[in-house]
Each structure stands twice: as structure tokens, then as C-alpha cells.
Homo-oligomer: A and B are copies of this chain.
Amino acid sequence: MSIPYTFSRTAAGLKRSVMRDLMALAVSPDVISFAGGLPASDHLPLEQLRTCFDAVLSRDGARALQYGPPYVPLREWLAAYMQRRGVDCTVENIFITSGAQQGLEILARLFLDEGAPEVLEAITFTGIQQAAQGHGALVRTVPVDLKTGIDVEALETVLARSPRARLGVVIPDFHNPLGVSVPAAHRARIAELAARHRVPIVEDDPYSPLRHAGEAQRPIKAYDEAGAVIYLGSFSKMLAPAMRLGWMVAPAALVARLTVLRESIDLESSQFIQRVAVEFLTRGWLEPHLAQLNAANRERRDALFAALERELGGLVSWTRPEGGLFVWVTLPAGVDAAELFKAAVARQVAFIPGGAFAVEGGYANTMRLNYSNVTPANIAEGLRRLGAVLKERLAVTV
């Protein structure tokens, strides 16, 4: 029971993520689920984190459990890490977040008024869409390419036609849901377009540490000489989601303003978890952890490629990610992945229909498959089931 409420205009219209509902359908232990976005549960650094929890409590005691300002050693480590990746930055440019989603939200809060234009990729992570929708953004979309990600020519056109755009968002590495990465030349172009059109472009990058093939790319932020690109990183995939920890690289004046805004939002990120992250990082444990994690991810990706070829070769096409968590599959024209989903769940296999990521609809014949949190044996069996479901559907259609 409750009194009648009057909600804010933006909150009244906020839609439940279809993706979450679908994932909820796929939690039965008998279902082989390619629907999630989780890092490999069997490769989380459990024992190392246990050591770090203990070391931080022993060394820092009560200071680790109190309130406190953003932890300077973490900001220092991140500044050095981003420098190694080609980004010109200092500790003053590092803003600590409770994960990349909070970064998206706080930037939307900082830059968007209701009806303000925001530029998004036509296919993008639902959390990016929700942050835009939650602040009433008027979304302009840029087409994506299944080999090179955001179409930079189209980005230029959209920016030129949206002189009042407040913000743009791009996922450059191992795109969610597409799996593709933006080539270096395009990255330079994106930074240049952001500067020329004076539209801050958010580089949402939770995935780049998860590279398991090919050559590492410098972030878009590395090409940014004008302070027009805002970088978002996250420990959720490179360490563990339950850290609830991430960071932003932004002009120092913006960091100062965000620090004030953050006070009113949730005060701060956990002192304890920030210190645990520093403990893990300064012990030199990140690289070995990523090496074993990415070896496992690569094995799983290869298992998925092989199973797709074996079960669905000639029927469907798919992207060829060199890292991250996802592969994007295009089904035969006319097949509705949302319909297929129901038959698939009945056959104990799940995925996310690609339409969930399509900002302006369409893409009904696509799906996102996660491989990072499925064992190779389950990948093979899951694709057998999925192949059977699709072939039945095609037989009916034909």
C-alpha cells in the first residue's frame, strides 16, 4: 500500500531493461547461458584478493574502514598505468568511481538536461542507453560496422548536424555487444572530431585489459590533445565485479567538479576496497592474473568459434573479437531472435536477442553470445542445442 506518487519526468519514463528480464529467465542450473556479461567465475583471483583483504586490514587498520578522500596511491597507480597506455595524465586527472556505470551516470548528470542531444552508437550496451534515457537525452545514433565499430564518417555527420550535442559515448575495445574494436586511425579521428565539434566524448572501456589476441591499441584518450575525451575504466572485468570500483580520466577541472557532485550522490567509494586494489596492483599481480584469465577466455572464444562453424556454419555469420566477453551473431534474414529465444530456453540454452542493444530498434535477426563464463564443454553442448533450435525454426519457415 502506498500514497499516490508524482514521479520526476525522467524517472516516470525509465524502462526496465529487457536484457535483465531475459537473463532472469536463464538462471536455472540446467540452462547453458550465453546471456550473461560476467567474467569467468572460475578465474576470479579469489586467493590473491583474500591475501590483500588481510594485508590491508593488518597494515592500515581502522583507516581502511573509515570515511576518507579518494585514495591517492590508487589515483597515482592509475595515472601511471594510463601513461603506460599512452595517455598524457597525472593524478589530478584521475577520478575514482564505483564502476563504469557510475561514470556514465555521473557524466550524464553533469552534462545532460532533459531534451539535450546525446550521440550514441546505434547498437550499444543497455546501461549506456539507460543513463541517457534516465536524464531525458534526445539520442542521435551513429551506425556501427561489424569489423571496425563506430562509423567515424557517420559520426562526423551526426556531430555536424547536432551543434548542441552535450555528450557522446563510444565503446572502442571489444564492444558490448558487438565484440569488435575500433582501429587506431579511427581512434585518432574520434578524438579530433570531439575537439573540433566541442562535444565531450566518453570512451567506455571496461574490456581492453581482456585482450587475448592481436595487438593492444592505445585508447582514444591517448589521441586527445584538446581535453575532449573522457575515459572510463573498470576493475569489474579485470579484477572482480564485487569490487564496485572504476576510474575516469578527465581534465582536472572536470575532476574537481565531479568530486563535488559525487558528495551528493553517494559520498565516496569504499576506502577499504580502494586500498585492496592498490595492494593487488602494487604486488604486481595484475599481469599474471590477466594472462591466465585471457588464456581461459581465448580457449572459450575458440571453442565458440569452432562450435558456431560446426553447428551453424553457412547459416549464420559472427564477429571475430580479439578479446572481451562477447560475440555478435547475425542470423538469416527473417529470423526473429526474440522468438527464437523462447524456443531456446525451452531447450535449455539462452542468449540475448540483439534487438535489446539496438537504440532505435531493428536488428531482430541478431544475438549476443557471452563466452567468458561458459566452459568449453558447455559451449559445445549449448551450440548443439542452439543449432537444433535454429534449424527447426528454419525448417518451419521454409
Residues of A within 8 A of B (CB): 1-11, 14-17, 20, 37-39, 41-42, 44, 46, 49-50, 53-54, 57, 61-68, 98-99, 101-102, 105, 109-113, 116, 127, 130-131, 133-135, 164, 166, 194-195, 198, 200, 225-228, 236, 240-244, 251, 253-254, 257, 260-261, 263-273
Contact = CB atoms under 8 A, between A and B. Distances in A.
Contacts of A49: 57, 65
B44 A66 contact: yes
B228 A244 contact: no
B127 A263 contact: yes
Contacts of A14: 260-261, 264
A269 B244 contact: yes
Given A41-B66, A261-B14, A113 B9 contact: yes
22 contacts: A1-B225, A1-B226, A2-B251, A3-B200, A4-B198, A7-B110, A8-B113, A11-B110, A17-B260, A17-B263, A41-B62, A41-B63, A46-B62, A49-B65, A101-B263, A101-B264, A127-B264, A130-B263, A130-B264, A244-B266, A244-B270, A266-B266
B8 A242 contact: no
A242 B11 contact: no
Given A46-B57, A113-B8, A244-B269, A1 B263 contact: no
Contact of A264 (B5, B9, B134, B243): B134
A195 B3 contact: yes
Contacts of A101: 263-267
Top 6 A-B residue pairs of the complex, sorted by shortest distance between their CB atoms: A2-B227, A130-B264, A2-B251, A65-B240, A242-B272, A102-B266
A240 B3 contact: no
Number of copies of this chain in the oligomer?
2
A133 B264 CA distance: 9
A1 to B, nearest CB: 5
B270 A2 contact: no
A54 B44 contact: no
A14 B98 CA distance: 21
A38 B67 contact: yes
Which of A44, A62, A112 has the largest count of B CB atoms less than 10 A from its CB? A62
A102 B53 CA distance: 25
Contacts of A273: 242, 270
Nearest to A245: B270
A2 B254 contact: yes
Given A5-B254, A15-B260, 17 more contacts: A2-B228, A2-B254, A3-B194, A3-B198, A3-B227, A5-B111, A6-B164, A9-B113, A11-B111, A46-B57, A46-B61, A46-B65, A49-B57, A67-B242, A101-B266, A109-B134, A130-B263
A62 B42 contact: yes
A49 B53 CA distance: 10
A254 B116 CA distance: 28
B244 A134 contact: no
A264 B50 contact: no
Which of A3, A194, A240 has the largest count of B CB atoms less than 10 A from its CB? A3
A236 to B, nearest CB: 8
A98 B195 CA distance: 36
A271 B251 contact: no
A197 B254 CA distance: 41
A200 B98 CA distance: 29
A181 to B, nearest CB: 24
A99 B242 contact: no
A71 to B, nearest CB: 11
A65 B261 contact: no
Which of A64, A98, A253, A269 has the largest count of B CB atoms less than 10 A from its CB? A98
A299 to B, nearest CB: 18
Contacts of A111: 5-8, 11
